[in-house]
Amino acid sequence: MSGTADGGGRGVLVTGASRGIGRAIAAAFAADGDRVAVHCGTRRADAEETAASLPGAGHTVLAADLTDPEAVRRLVADAAGALGGIDVLVNNAAAMIAHPLPDTGWDDWVAAWRRTVDVNLLGAAHASYCAARDMIDRGVGGRIVNVGSRGAFRGEPDHPAYGASKAALHALGQSLAVSLAPHGIGVASVAPGFVRTERVAGRLSGAEGEAIRAQSPFGRVAAAEEVAAAVRYLASPGAVWSSGAVLDVNGASYLRT
């Protein structure tokens, strides 16, 4: 039996949910009684661990290469089949490859841009298309929440493709918010700052950790659960009027005007 966009027991697909922010997002929805499809790229064992840790039942693990449009289409179809339909899509998966222009050769520059845009923007766009069509066909409305970045606004000199792709992801969300509202589908984004995850543990414990924490007047970085709480809110029944919004979750480390 499928869930509904505005009630408990929804079907939720979270991309890049094997660890870090994605794992925290999956846990937040599962705690509400939702059924979660935990997507992974190559970290199948981590994704299985995430799914096993989730409360409730009906969760599933699905692997797919988000750079392959057909693989994305199969991913969404498989998630819809396993969950009884998709009520919430969270585009969380991301590639972040260092390629500062002065220090990067041409071939590496091109490869970094291609990989980053394919995952962060096109993968999310294709997943949004497929999930939204599922929502429209079922006539139940739904939510799409994109995990963007503070870097979309302040710039990412060492990761320019990452910053550019996240800015484009925010713009995609706003375009879809207008397009999909007549179908009862809300679309919004979060823009986190630095978040404590397994991937950056070494940086936080090393020489640059103090400077990273000092970016926020709180003197710390975000917990993955704090980003997950923002995603959960934007997917909630009371947040439909926030469709089109980009919610900063950066501890006042970067203030937009």
Catalytic residue of the set 128, 149, 165, 189? 149
pLDDT of res. 2: 40
Neighbouring CB atoms inside 10 A of 107's CB total 8
Q: What is the spatial distance between Cα 235 and Cα 35, in angstroms, rounded to a whole number?
A: 14
Alpha helices (H) along 54-185: 69-83, 106-117, 124-138, 151-154, 160-180
Q: What helix, strand, coil percent values describe the chain, rounded to 5?
A: 50, 15, 35
Query: Known catalytic residue: 149?
Result: yes
Its CATH architecture, for the domain 11-249, is 3-Layer(aba) Sandwich (3.40)
Catalytic residue of the set 166, 189, 243, 253? 166
Catalytic residue of the set 162, 165, 189, 253? 162
Q: pLDDT by residue (tens digit) across 79-101?
A: 999 999 999 999 999 999 999 99
The domains of the chain are located at: 11-249
Tokens of 133: 């069509």
Q: pLDDT by residue (tens digit) across 42-69?
A: 999 999 999 999 999 999 999 999 999 9
